Amino acid sequence: MDMLLKCDANYASLTPITFLKRASAFYSDRTSLIYEGTRFTWRQTYERCCRLASSLHRLNISKNDVVSVLAPNVPALYEMHFAVPMAGAILNTINTRLDANNIALILRHSEAKILFVDYKYIQEAKDALRLLVAESFPLPLIVNIDDIDSPTGVRFGNFEYEQLIHNGDVKFTPREVHDEWDSIALNYTSGTTSAPKGVVYSHRAAFLSTLSLVMGWEMGNAPVYLWTLPMFHCNGWTFTWGIAARGGTNVCMRNTTAFDIFRNINLHHVTHMCCAPIVFRIILEANGGDRRQVASPVNVLTGGAPPPAPLLEKMEALGFHITHAYGLTEATGPALVCEWQEKWNILPTDEQAKLKARQGISILTLADVDVKNLDTMESVPHDGHTTGEIVLRGSSLMKGYFKDPAATAAAFKNGWFLTGDIGVIYPDGYLEIKDRSKDVIISGGENISSVEVETVLYRHPQVAEAAVVAMPHPLWGESPCAFVAVHGDADTVSEAEIIAFCRKNLSHYMVPKKVVFVAELPKANGKIQKFKLREQAKYFNVTEKRVAQISRNKSGRQDSSRRLDYGEHVLAMSRL
């Protein structure tokens, strides 16, 4: 048997680029992408990607070069998911909610050769580049992404996106992927520590994860997919590539507003969308003019946990069918999907909601998933009760963290990837998360590192001690809440002052919505006991103006007529 060798005919690198070539061959005249007045077919999308790849090649982009992009869900960002690897390079999609500091940090760390910038983010890009200039760091080439809404006269780039397409060679032959272990994407997590980590995906992982998610979600042929999920999140949970695999239609959106969501759904007969649960909120809270019944059911894959019964019911009543998934950037998107079992249909609604709230079962291309006691590496019993850390292994996981061997080594242990999430396994094999790596605050689907916020707080001249934990937020799920002990007299500094200081030094979504002044932070062995603060903060809410004061008086609990909103709970759990 062993004399049968691999050859070009029977061994081809697994790469999602195949999906686009195939779509161009077999779905050539089918609509690949719609963005307001713009429409392309799969043949056109393939040709545009060939042209762009050819232009990148002429700009000396070659294997393992990083190409960064800062853009909302516009056609250019979609096309780059193929064109950049077709040029042999690695795609780095930057979270558009980051501030100039973080953008600069990513450009520096990734050594991006080119930065594509949508017109809306020119200011952030300029500010980031200015920071690089200040450090004499070599600047990337800049390519402007415009559309018909772009204000005139704001160009600052070296090239225009459409010009690269136009000048490219439509007959360009995509670079062969000689090794499926080669890198296709670099995605920075905000992570739990202050330094964002660059998660690297192989072509193999991207290919396998794409197939798994299409299967896990039971997505059929020719879906119409609405881009409510930012493509910069794990490459749109791999559906950037998956829609090509299924010969579907991408409906792009610049802004995720209720008006645009409902309009696009009914106009284009959307069948599928992914989103963080914050989008449920946008949908459910739409005003009368924006909100409408959807004409045919829309399948929604949502990242994060517990979509509780009332939320599910409201969404289902509007025509949305929700599937719950769990994942992380390191797992190339969702790693578990809460696959529905038909026998559950007869259960009462709240029972169903409980079952749906679980994180579920592994996707098909993971080799294994387990919940383990990390000290012994023993699996927990399947009792729905004993907790351990959720661990994963398989070919759809990341290669590792870019230029960070220590973090990479720490993430992989004894043949497993450690998620940092604490969970249980039920007797039926389904997993549920019980707690999460402690310090992350998830606000509007974005991870906020408490350490990063604390670092800024500590820079304030009067802050002696600071700890940041999550508190519930009616819209964003969680918000950062800062506990601060000040030097000297506490009355000399106000909450408003601290918040203003943070706004100057942090991306806005990271700014604490509440600052609680305390005489001293609770500690054990010199370490701050954040769980005690979290315990306190979970009864706070942003409208309750007096909480800080009360807290200082050590009264601890407030009445809490306020219910922890279900929407937020979902958000809080979201890792995606």
- Residue 199 CB, shortest distance to a copy of itself, in Å, is 10
Output 70 or 211, the one with its CB closest to a copy of itself.
211
Question: Do 66 and 105 form a contact (C-beta atoms < 8 A)?
Answer: no
Type and span of the H or E element at 266:
helix 258-268
How would you write 426-453 as a 3-class SS string?
Answer: CCCCCEEEEECCCCEEEECCEEEEHHHH
State which residue, 34 or 90, has the beta carbon closest to a copy of itself.
Answer: 90
Asked whether 182 and 63 are in contact (CB, 8 A), the reply is yes
Residue 78, burial from CB neighbour count under 10 angstroms (0-12, 13-18, 19+): buried
Structure-token pair, residue 241: 């590539």
Give CA–CA dist 396/205, Å, rounded.
4
Question: Which one-letter amino acid corresponds to residue 288?
Answer: G
CB 216 within 8 A of CB 415: no
Residue 245: CB minimum distance to a copy of itself, A: 6
For a copy of itself, give the closer residue by CB, 410 or 464: 410
Q: Which is nearer to a copy of itself, 171 or 527 (CB)?
A: 171
Q: Which is nearer to a copy of itself, 10 or 136 (CB)?
A: 10
**Closest distance to a copy of itself from the beta carbon of 268 (Å):** 14
Of 163 and 221, the one with the shorter C-beta distance to a copy of itself is 221
Per-residue H/E/C for 325-377? EEEEHHHCEEEEECCCCHHHHHCCHHHHHHHHCCCEEECCCEEEEEEEECCCC
Nearest approach in angstroms of CB 280 to a copy of itself is: 24
Q: Are 55 and 164 in contact (CB under 8 A)?
A: yes
The secondary structure of residue 194, as a DSSP letter, is S
Q: Helix 17-26 and helix 42-58: axis angle, to 10°?
A: 140
Q: Which is nearer to a copy of itself, 1 or 148 (CB)?
A: 1
Least CB distance to a copy of itself at residue 480 (A): 32
Least CB distance to a copy of itself at residue 397 (A):
4
Strands 90-93 and 66-70: parallel
| CB of 73 or CB of 209, closer to a copy of itself | 209
* Residue closer to a copy of itself (CB basis): 119 or 340: 340
- The CB-of-533 to a copy of itself minimum distance in angstroms stands at 32
User: Closer to a copy of itself at the Cβ: 169 or 176?
Assistant: 176
Which burial class, exposed, middle or buried, applies to 378 when counting CB atoms under 10 A from its CB (0-12, 13-18, 19+)? Answer: exposed
- Shortest separation between residue 400's beta carbon and a copy of itself, angstroms: 4
**Exposed, middle or buried by CB within 10 Å (0-12, 13-18, 19+), for 302?**
buried
C-beta closer to a copy of itself: residue 405 or 526: 405
Packing angle between helix 309-318 and helix 566-573, nearest 10 degrees?
100
Nearer to a copy of itself, 71 or 397 (CB): 397
Q: Smallest distance, Å, CB 396 to a copy of itself? A: 9
Q: What is the C-alpha R_g of the chain?
A: 24
**Cβ proximity to a copy of itself, 153 vs 405, nearer residue:** 405
Q: Specify which residues 466 forms β-bridges with.
A: 484
How far is residue 269's CA from residue 223's CA, in Å, rounded to a whole number? 9
The answer for residues whose C-beta is within 8 angstroms of residue 282's C-beta and 6 or more apart is 256, 257, 258, 261
Q: Which residues bind a copy of itself (CB under 8 A)?
A: 1-12, 14, 18-19, 21-22, 25-30, 64, 90, 181-183, 200, 205, 208, 211, 214-215, 218, 220-222, 245, 247, 339-342, 361-362, 364-365, 367-368, 392-395, 397-400, 402, 405, 408, 412-413, 415-417, 428-430
Question: How far is 519 from 487, CA to CA, in rounded Å?
Answer: 9
Smallest gap from Cβ 65 to a copy of itself, in A, equals: 10
Name the nearest CA neighbour of 285 among 322, 318, 258: 258
Q: How far is the CB of 308 from a copy of itself (least distance, A)?
A: 23
- Supply the minimum distance, in Å, between the C-beta of residue 55 and a copy of itself: 22
Q: What's the CA gap between 476 and 562, in Å, rounded?
A: 16
Task: In angstroms, give the least distance from the CB of 148 to a copy of itself.
Answer: 30
Return all residues near 9 (Cβ < 8 A) that are at least 6 apart.
none
Backbone angles phi, psi at 390, to 5 degrees: -75, 125
